[in-house]
Chains A and B, each alone.
Chain A
Amino acid sequence: MENTKLDLDNYRSLLKEYLLTKNETALYQAEQFSKLSMQHNISPEEIIHVHIEALKELYPDLTQEVNDSLNFLLEAMISYGLAYQEFQTLREKQSELQSEISVAASMQQTLLSTVKPEIKGLDIGAISVPANQMSGDYYHFVTDKEDDTLGIAIADVIGKGIPAALAMSMIKYSMDSFPENQRNPSAILENLNRVVERNVDPSMFITMFYGLYNPGNETFSYASAGHEPGFYYHGDQDEFEEIEARGLVLGATDQATYRQFERKIKKNDCIILLTDGVTECRIGDRFIERDEILQVIKKYIQLPAQEAVEQVYKHFERLQEFQFRDDFTLIIIRKEV
């Protein structure tokens, strides 16, 4: 009450000054007044009311028509006032949601965090950047102290945002719960497929590539559940070869089987794994070609693996004008000896 009275006095003197001088200063002050009123959640009909009251004090002989017409205006403004209040509430809700999402995103980062292992003879680089706050991409390294093998999982939920992120957390926990000795790529995918089929909405698909490197026989075995094909880089010829491995996406049917492939890895060769956030980069309305991606990777492949993935990321970040449309994950593993 105290405040509105103050405001009325203030408004009256501003109005009086303007009517006398018609100068810009008073109009500027009116602007300030309007901002201040918004800050105090004063709705438009109240301002009109203040205007009517001020006018009546300045001109006690105001004609009935003018008075009535101003009351008519006041009625006409009621809905604007309501819409403004609703907008305020929704804005508060929006910022609550925003901060909830930030908390969820940082929880997700902790949950999904994976340690990039130091393995003798291998140079490993990995980068994963979400398009929005929460990521639907996931990669994970699994090491085994006894036999020095390295398991690599990379997955992508078709879809983005919070639902994708929730599905990803589920994948991570299922993988953690599989028995230690089960490290066979096709068996892992078959198990995960059943988990996804049972627990995830049928409209959501997850693609995944799982690889296991055994330094004992220098062999990389792998299987894919509909995942974006990665590349094998031949160091001696400076050439790429697509890693072929077909398989159904996870969760499509509960009986899916995944064929396992194997290949020897030579010195200076690289395994490059990625998600479609990399291959579906867009320049304007055009998707880039896989060849163009390879050209970019080639440009940086001689760098240490971590620097290489970061440089490739930066390249595409700029190309896409710093606005990725999909989560971006890229892993490069080089056999050094």
Chain B
Amino acid sequence: MDFKPCVNIRKEWDIVGARQLGREKAKEIGFGTVDQARIATAISELARNIYLYAGTGKICFEIVDDFEHKGLQIIAVDEGPGIRDISQVMEDGYTTSGGLGAGLPGVKRLMDHFDIISEVGEGTEIRASKWVR
């Protein structure tokens, strides 16, 4: 496996760092401006969740290039409290920002593939990928 570039999230300004690195990767792979903006927004949401709910964690990037897809995977990992009811969290309108379309359902919309693994008391790992068209 490749060495994965990561950004540690400890304070709010680290969100900007994660966006920056993600955008660079996205540009490198060949995403257009619209998709770059979408990827950056998804990173913001994931990084802000780490900052708000887990305190600390990291955002890593993995370039995907196999037979099927070419694209970017964002991996958000923390050892925070975990998410008890993932289905509920993924329902539109559940987020505290309800009605603004953001939050985890928003990340799922912005990206092409989305997956959460979370254990209460252990932490959360969210993977979200987007393919170059």
Closest to B133 in A: A1
Shortest distance between the CB of B66 and any CB in chain A (Å): 22
In the complex, A49 has a CB within 8 A of chain B: yes
Q: How far is the CA of A297 from the CA of B103 in the complex (A)?
A: 57
Knowing A75-B40, A78-B41, A79-B41, the reply to whether A86 touches B99 (Cβ < 8 A) is yes
B92 engages A89 (CB within 8 Å): yes
Q: How far is the CA of A45 from the CA of B37 in the complex (A)?
A: 9
B34 engages A86 (CB within 8 Å): no
Q: How far is the CA of A86 from the CA of B108 in the complex (A)?
A: 11
In the complex, A132 has a CB within 8 A of chain B: no
In the complex, A28 has a CB within 8 A of chain B: no
Q: Is the interface of A mostly helix, strand, loop or mixed?
A: helix
Q: How far is the CA of A200 from the CA of B39 in the complex (A)?
A: 50
Shortest distance between the CB of A291 and any CB in chain B (Å): 47
In the complex, B105 has a CB within 8 A of chain A: yes
Name the contact of B32 in the complex, choosing from A49, A86, A89 (C-beta under 8 A): A49
Shortest distance between the CB of B31 and any CB in chain A (Å): 12
A85 engages B34 (CB within 8 Å): no
Q: How far is the CA of A123 from the CA of B102 in the complex (A)?
A: 62
Closest to A45 in B: B34
Residues of B1-40 contacting chain A, CB below 8 A:
32-34, 37-38, 40
In the complex, B82 has a CB within 8 A of chain A: no
Q: Is the interface of B mostly helix, strand, loop or mixed?
A: helix
Chain A-chain B contacts (Cβ-Cβ < 8 Å), number:
50
Contacts of A71 in B (CB 8 A): 33
A85 engages B101 (CB within 8 Å): yes
Q: How far is the CA of A86 from the CA of B106 in the complex (A)?
A: 8
Encode A1-15 as 1/0 by CB contact (under 8 A) with B: 100000000000000
Q: How far is the CA of A71 from the CA of B34 in the complex (A)?
A: 9
B106 engages A74 (CB within 8 Å): no
Q: How far is the CA of A283 from the CA of B5 in the complex (A)?
A: 69
In the complex, A83 has a CB within 8 A of chain B: yes
B92 engages A75 (CB within 8 Å): no
Contacts of A1 in B (CB 8 A): 133
Q: How far is the CA of A94 from the CA of B79 in the complex (A)?
A: 37
Contacts of B33 in A (CB 8 A): 49, 52, 71, 74
Name the contact of B34 in the complex, choosing from A46, A82, A84 (C-beta under 8 A): A46
B38 engages A78 (CB within 8 Å): yes
Knowing A79-B101, A79-B102, the reply to whether A86 touches B40 (Cβ < 8 A) is no
In the complex, A90 has a CB within 8 A of chain B: yes
Knowing A78-B37, A78-B38, the reply to whether A84 touches B32 (Cβ < 8 A) is no
Q: How far is the CA of A188 from the CA of B38 in the complex (A)?
A: 65
Name the contact of A82 in the complex, choosing from B32, B102, B133 (C-beta under 8 A): B102
A83 engages B34 (CB within 8 Å): no
Q: How far is the CA of A82 from the CA of B99 in the complex (A)?
A: 10
Knowing A49-B32, A89-B92, A90-B93, the reply to whether A84 touches B37 (Cβ < 8 A) is no
In the complex, B109 has a CB within 8 A of chain A: yes
Contacts of B101 in A (CB 8 A): 79, 81-87
Q: How far is the CA of A78 from the CA of B41 in the complex (A)?
A: 8
Contacts of A79 in B (CB 8 A): 41, 100-102
Closest to B105 in A: A86
In the complex, B110 has a CB within 8 A of chain A: yes
Shortest distance between the CB of B112 and any CB in chain A (Å): 14
Shortest distance between the CB of A101 and any CB in chain B (Å): 19
Give the 5 A-B CB pairs with smallest separation, nearest first: A82-B101, A86-B101, A83-B101, A82-B106, A49-B34
A-B pairs with beta carbons under 8 Å apart, 13 shown: A45-B34, A46-B34, A49-B32, A52-B33, A75-B37, A79-B100, A82-B100, A82-B110, A84-B101, A85-B109, A86-B99, A87-B101, A90-B92
Give B contacts to A, CB under 8 Å: 32-34, 37-38, 40-41, 92-93, 99-102, 105-106, 109-110, 133
